Amino acid sequence: MRPTSISSRVEGGAPAPRPPRGAAGDAPSARVWLSGPYVVLLLVALVVPLAHLGAISIFTHHPRLMFVAEPTLENYARLLQPYYLEVLVRTLRIGLVTTLCCMVLGVPLAYWLARCGPTALGIGLFLLVMPMMVSTVVRAFGWMIILGRNGVINQISVGLGFERWLFVMNTETAVVIALVQICLPLLVLPTLASIERIPRSLEEAAANLGASPVQLFRRVILPLAAPGIASGAVLAFLVAIGVVVTPALMGGRGSRMIGNEIYDQLITALNWPFASAMAIALIAIVLGAVIASRAAAAAAERFRREAARRRASAGGA
């Protein structure tokens, strides 16, 4: 198997079979009515509202008219105040810690799912996708019952004759715990898809050549699954930094994230320009994360090819 064919399989999935020439969907007129409705929705409900939000972010706040069209950078300057900088840093920290925890727990789980056989895989996917699709409010509520002052864990400990010992509610730790549960499936699914494309023969070959399980995981599985892990990690990070409900219910005053500030400024304080500026800052972070992960995946790919070429030339010599 040449490296190029693996990489094309890892990145693009199975090559699409060519439909017959002149099949439905080929004609230019068909293209318009196939893509048209969704493109219109994207423009009306996404592109225009986001552009509108971007415009408001440089306008001046007005207590009664909401805003007046006088350009200003004041809203962005306010983001640099210590309080909001702290919120931004906290949001990034929570996002990064959550993503790291998801990787540590999720990559081995994805590997196990990829190799556990069809029945276990079916059950495993159900147990993975079902919680993922349940509302985040419900899940935050569940964590409150488990982790609260009088929660399940403390009840058990009191019932066993000890003191209450768990006091994570209303801390950043509680927010991270709930977010890891939310983001984990988002990381596992793409990782699983890329691990499944690694031929088992490759693993067997590595094992026959004396690779230990840890070596196998580090030298074969991780590099080949890197694109899936990278795209899953980005998804997990994006979801983790864009939440309102989870920190509102579990974080308390000291763990507010940028989503809470955007919500309060928009709905309660009615400062639309400042809320918009924070939203634009969040979009900038999202873009930065996507670009960083693409760059990391490309670098990993280059490194892998380089190593393969070196190994091939060493083998030929």
Partner 1 sequence: MHGSSTALRVLATLVFAFLLAPLLVVVLVSFSPTPAFRIPTTEFSLDWYRKFFGMAQFRDGLFLVSLPVALASGSLATLLGTLAAVYLVRSGLASRAAMESFFMLPLLIPSILLGAALYLVAARMGVAGQAWTLVLGHTLLGVPYVIRVVGAGLVAIDPRLEEAAVNLGCTSRQAFLRVVLPLLKPAMFSGAIFAFIVSFSDVNLALFVAGPGTTTLPIHVFSQIFWEGDPTIAAASALQILVVGVLILTMQRLLKLRLSL
**C-alpha 118: how far from its chain's center?**
27
Nearer to partner 1, 2 or 18 (CB): 18
What gap in Å lies between CA 284 and CA 281, rounded to an integer? 5
Q: Binding partner 1 by CB under 8 A: which of 58, 88, 233, 248? A: 248
What gap in Å lies between CA 262 and CA 258, rounded to an integer? 6
**C-alpha 218: how far from its chain's center?**
23
Nearer to partner 1, 287 or 307 (CB): 287
What gap in Å lies between CA 311 and CA 233, rounded to an integer? 29
Query: Contact between 244 and partner 1 (CB under 8 A)?
Result: yes
Query: Contact between 223 and partner 1 (CB under 8 A)?
Result: no
On whether the CB atoms of residues 57 and 256 are closer than 8 A, the answer is no
User: Considering CB under 8 A, how many residues would be counted as binding partner 1?
Assistant: 100
Nearer to partner 1, 223 or 242 (CB): 242
On whether the CB atoms of residues 92 and 176 are closer than 8 A, the answer is no
Nearer to partner 1, 50 or 202 (CB): 50
Binding mask 119-148 for partner 1 (x = CB under 8 A): ---x-xxxxxxxx-xxxxxxxxxxxxxx-x
The residues in 60-99 that bind partner 1, with binding defined as CB under 8 A, are none
- Which residues 6+ apart lie within 8 Å of 238 measured at CB? 286, 289
Least distance in angstroms from the C-beta of 77 to partner 1: 20
What gap in Å lies between CA 161 and CA 173, rounded to an integer? 26
Phi, psi angles (nearest 5°) of residue 61: -70, 140
Task: Please choose, out of 74-82, 103-111, 218-226, 301-309, the segment that lies near partner 1 by the rule CB under 8 A.
Answer: 103-111
Task: Please choose, out of 20-28, 71-79, 163-171, 221-229, the segment that lies near partner 1 by the rule CB under 8 A.
Answer: 20-28
Q: Binding partner 1 by CB under 8 A: which of 5, 37, 89, 149? A: 37
Task: Please choose, out of 19-27, 75-83, 166-174, 303-311, the segment that lies near partner 1 by the rule CB under 8 A.
Answer: 19-27
Question: Are β-strands 60-62 and 66-68 bridged in parallel, bridged antiparallel, or unpaired?
Answer: antiparallel
Query: Contact between 56 and partner 1 (CB under 8 A)?
Result: yes
Least distance in angstroms from the C-beta of 180 to partner 1: 8
What gap in Å lies between CA 107 and CA 184, rounded to an integer? 10
Nearer to partner 1, 137 or 299 (CB): 137
Nearer to partner 1, 78 or 308 (CB): 78
Query: Contact between 31 and partner 1 (CB under 8 A)?
Result: yes
Query: Two tokens at 175?
Result: 């927010």
On whether the CB atoms of residues 143 and 177 are closer than 8 A, the answer is yes
Least distance in angstroms from the C-beta of 93 to partner 1: 17
Least distance in angstroms from the C-beta of 226 to partner 1: 19
The residues in 169-208 that bind partner 1, with binding defined as CB under 8 A, are 178, 180-181, 184-185, 189, 192-193, 207
Nearer to partner 1, 83 or 126 (CB): 126
On whether the CB atoms of residues 7 and 13 are closer than 8 A, the answer is no
Alpha helices in the chain (DSSP H): 3-12, 28-42, 48-56, 74-79, 82-114, 118-133, 136-147, 152-159, 172-196, 200-208, 213-216, 222-241, 245-250, 258-263, 272-316
The residues in 250-269 that bind partner 1, with binding defined as CB under 8 A, are 259, 262-263, 266-267
Query: Contact between 274 and partner 1 (CB under 8 A)?
Result: no
